[in-house]
Chains A and B, each alone.
Chain A
Amino acid sequence: MEKPNVLVQVLKSVALGVSVLLVIIPFWSIIATSLADRQTLDQSAGGMVLWPGDATLSAYASILSGGVVTRALIISIGITVAGTALSLAATAGLAYWLSRRGAFGAKPILLLVLGSLLFSPGLIPSYLLVKELNLLDSWWSLILPVLVNAFNVIVMRAFFQELPQELFDSAYIDGASSFTILTRIVLPVSKAVFAVIGLFYAVAYWNAFFNALLYIQSTDKWPMALVLRTFVVNQTTIAGDQVGASAEALPPQLQLQMAILVVSLIPILLVYPFLQRHFARGVMIGAVKG
């Protein structure tokens, strides 16, 4: 082979380096700004900083010691945990039913599941339904409409279908009931797919914004997404009594905003290594099946 062209190599490295920096710098400076001491922040004329100076956790202490952000955080965690558990149960149950060949009633239901991938029901009718069910301003409105994701059902169904039929047959011959087969054989070998689909759901619940905007009206029921929108995107001033800090000890607004941003990033960053591995596989499944 001929020698690689030096200029081309340099250009490639620069392009990749710039792309990576464009991702890293924002994260870095958000974290740095959330930790920076007052003096460092003052020097940057109220802007973002790249080095926290004498790092302090005071912004985190303020937002986490009661008040609107703490409450929203607890609500978001609650919705994510409860929603993920319910979604997993409903999705796995449905997928298991549809995966057994010739199961009673499975065929029409499968068609309905596949059909739902083709269209979304539309904003206004969905809103009216939630309203008719008296779910407006209830946390259920953030869970029930997105409880079952048809795509996840298809992925789980494919997994259950690939379990070897002998597994079922031999257990059946040994006299195991359907329930025993499910709890003693199917569930233990399905831990991985539960983990993957669970993560799909958890990230979706944590990131959900629009349904909250649409259905949640009371401020005291806000999840993190609405707190982010109000205080970070729209930059509504955070008063001392809205967080756990006296007016004098209140850290600068920018720092509070960045701390809120970091707090909402942390769960994603924690599960990210795991996500990355499995989600990439999920994309490929989707590509092959689609």
Chain B
Amino acid sequence: MAIDVEARPAVADLIGARGRRRTGQRFSRDKLLVVLGLPGAIVLILFHYVPLLGNIIAFQDFQPYTGITESPFIGLDNFRFLWNGDTSFLRALTNTLILTLIQTVFVFPVPLALALLLSSLAGERLKRLLQSILYLPHFLSWVIVVAIFQQMLGNAGMLNTFLVQNDLPSFHIIGVPELFMTLLTSQAIWKDAGWGTIIFLAAISQIDQEQYEASAVDGANAWQRLWYITLPSLKGIFILLLILRLGNSLSVGFEQIILQQGLVGLETSEVLDTWVYNKGIIGGDWGMSAAVGLVKSIVGILMVMGANKLAHKFGEQGVYQK
């Protein structure tokens, strides 16, 4: 998007030069535009950029009643979690990284598999119907998804009731710390695997059908066509999505976890986002939680930017290969 501006430097300069001379004229010409656009711009800046100033409290011994202007500065003391081995911070960091790893390995490939299954269906109508059903959970809020899982897989939920009534071994996944990561993972799959197929289905529909026909003539079987045509064609988009996902490594299902934290305790469920919430908003350690939030934001921006760069590289390669 930056290219959009830089690609036409001559035009931009021209407008800029004219603009300096006739700012007043341009304003009176465009004042309707400015009047229409300014409220949105102000609100966006107010709630996206002004809070950045609030990060000052990461360097203060902040107390709500003294406020930002009166609270004393204490240097980098709030950042001591970076070097003093704060156990609750380390636990949150570890859980975050484990969860990212699990979700990348188990959640990420499911939409691809589902898309391959869907695309192999012959009937267009049936395919549409299945897609409609599979996309639906994406539009539900986490509160609803969590509630649904409780009713299905909880201690008094449908599955366990059925098992107990039929004298089978009891099984439930809600409120069991050892299974918490499994629970989060299966919820993420249930909610978004169907929705995630869209992008793969679009990519599959782009594959040249002649390749399949030619390979069939040469005697390739279904597996070979999948392995040598379909999957290589999807490699680019898969890598792109993977990189973007890794760019967001430090953010894992905040709402989802906050809703279920009470049931399993902090040991397995505390991640960086919930740590900031629990320590700051609930616990009142404003300075330190702001400091963690700040570090996380900066690392996050660097990772997203790095990921974008990487994705761009892979993306370009994809274009050349075609």
Closest CB of chain A to B150's CB: distance in Å?
7
Closest 3 CB pairs of A and B: A97-B37, A125-B54, A94-B40
- B277: Cβ under 8 A from any A Cβ: yes
Task: Report how many residues on chain A are interfacial, defined by Cβ distance under 8 Å.
Answer: 101
List the B residue with the shortest CB-CB distance to A214: B281
Cross-chain pairs A/B with CB under 8 angstroms, 14 sampled: A22-B190, A104-B23, A112-B48, A116-B48, A119-B300, A122-B54, A122-B293, A123-B273, A123-B281, A124-B54, A124-B290, A229-B143, A232-B147, A280-B135
List the B residue with the shortest CB-CB distance to A150: B44
| Per-residue interface assignment for chain A, residues 10 to 31, with 1 indicating a CB less than 8 Å from any chain B CB and 0 otherwise | 0010011001101111110110
By the criterion CB–CB under 8 Å, are B36 and A116 in contact? no
By the criterion CB–CB under 8 Å, are B52 and A125 in contact? yes
By the criterion CB–CB under 8 Å, are B47 and A207 in contact? no
- A170: Cβ under 8 A from any B Cβ: no
By the criterion CB–CB under 8 Å, are A123 and B136 in contact? no
Please measure, in the bound complex, the distance between the C-alpha atom of A11 and the C-alpha atom of B7, giving whole angstroms. 52
Residues in A neighbouring B23, C-beta threshold 8 A: 104
Which residues of A, 115-141, contact B by the 8 Å Cβ criterion? 116, 118-129, 131
Please measure, in the bound complex, the distance between the C-alpha atom of A107 and the C-alpha atom of B150, giving whole angstroms. 49
List the B residue with the shortest CB-CB distance to A24: B133
Residues in B neighbouring A128, C-beta threshold 8 A: 51, 54, 57, 68, 286
Partner of B5 from the list A103, A107, A109, A276 (CB cut-off 8 Å) is A107
- A171: Cβ under 8 A from any B Cβ: no
Closest CB of chain B to A213's CB: distance in Å?
7
Which residues of B, 260-290, contact A by the 8 Å Cβ criterion? 260, 262, 273, 276-277, 280-281, 286, 289-290
Closest CB of chain A to B125's CB: distance in Å?
14
Partner of B151 from the list A48, A103, A116, A225 (CB cut-off 8 Å) is A48
Please measure, in the bound complex, the distance between the C-alpha atom of A232 and the C-alpha atom of B148, giving whole angstroms. 9
Residues in B neighbouring A287, C-beta threshold 8 A: 199, 202
By the criterion CB–CB under 8 Å, are A104 and B27 in contact? yes
Please measure, in the bound complex, the distance between the C-alpha atom of A96 and the C-alpha atom of B262, giving whole angstroms. 46
Residues in B neighbouring A19, C-beta threshold 8 A: 114, 134, 193-194
Residues in B neighbouring A2, C-beta threshold 8 A: 221-222
Residues in A neighbouring B68, C-beta threshold 8 A: 128
Known interface pairs A118-B304, A122-B290; A93-B150 also in contact (CB < 8 Å): no
By the criterion CB–CB under 8 Å, are A121 and B52 in contact? yes
| Per-residue interface assignment for chain B, residues 205 to 248, with 1 indicating a CB less than 8 Å from any chain A CB and 0 otherwise | 00000000000100001100000000000000000000010000
Contacting chain B: which of A56-64, A239-247, A260-268?
A260-268
By the criterion CB–CB under 8 Å, are A121 and B30 in contact? no
- A209: Cβ under 8 A from any B Cβ: yes
A-B CB contacts (within 8 Å), total count? 266
- B33: Cβ under 8 A from any A Cβ: yes
Please measure, in the bound complex, the distance between the C-alpha atom of A279 and the C-alpha atom of B146, giving whole angstroms. 23
List the A residue with the shortest CB-CB distance to B281: A127
Contacting chain B: which of A39-47, A77-85, A188-196?
A39-47
By the criterion CB–CB under 8 Å, are A148 and B43 in contact? yes
Please measure, in the bound complex, the distance between the C-alpha atom of A20 and the C-alpha atom of B197, giving whole angstroms. 14
Known interface pairs A145-B47, A203-B139; A119-B37 also in contact (CB < 8 Å): no
| Per-residue interface assignment for chain B, residues 146 to 158, with 1 indicating a CB less than 8 Å from any chain A CB and 0 otherwise | 1110111000111
Partner of B43 from the list A30, A90, A114, A154 (CB cut-off 8 Å) is A90
Partner of B33 from the list A100, A258, A276, A279 (CB cut-off 8 Å) is A100
Please measure, in the bound complex, the distance between the C-alpha atom of A116 and the C-alpha atom of B57, giving whole angstroms. 21
By the criterion CB–CB under 8 Å, are B136 and A272 in contact? yes
Known interface pairs A112-B44, A147-B40, A284-B202; A182-B32 also in contact (CB < 8 Å): yes
- A218: Cβ under 8 A from any B Cβ: no
13 A-B pairs besides A147-B43, A148-B40 with CB distance below 8 A are A19-B193, A29-B158, A30-B148, A90-B40, A97-B36, A97-B41, A105-B30, A128-B54, A147-B44, A210-B255, A258-B151, A284-B202, A290-B244
- A173: Cβ under 8 A from any B Cβ: no
Please measure, in the bound complex, the distance between the C-alpha atom of A271 and the C-alpha atom of B183, giving whole angstroms. 29
- B120: Cβ under 8 A from any A Cβ: yes
Please measure, in the bound complex, the distance between the C-alpha atom of A47 and the C-alpha atom of B59, giving whole angstroms. 52
- B93: Cβ under 8 A from any A Cβ: no
Known interface pairs A19-B114, A94-B40, A112-B45; A124-B52 also in contact (CB < 8 Å): no
- A6: Cβ under 8 A from any B Cβ: no
Known interface pairs A5-B222, A26-B148, A233-B146; A121-B161 also in contact (CB < 8 Å): no
| Per-residue interface assignment for chain A, residues 143 to 187, with 1 indicating a CB less than 8 Å from any chain B CB and 0 otherwise | 011011010011000000000000000000000001100100000
Residues in B neighbouring A33, C-beta threshold 8 A: 151
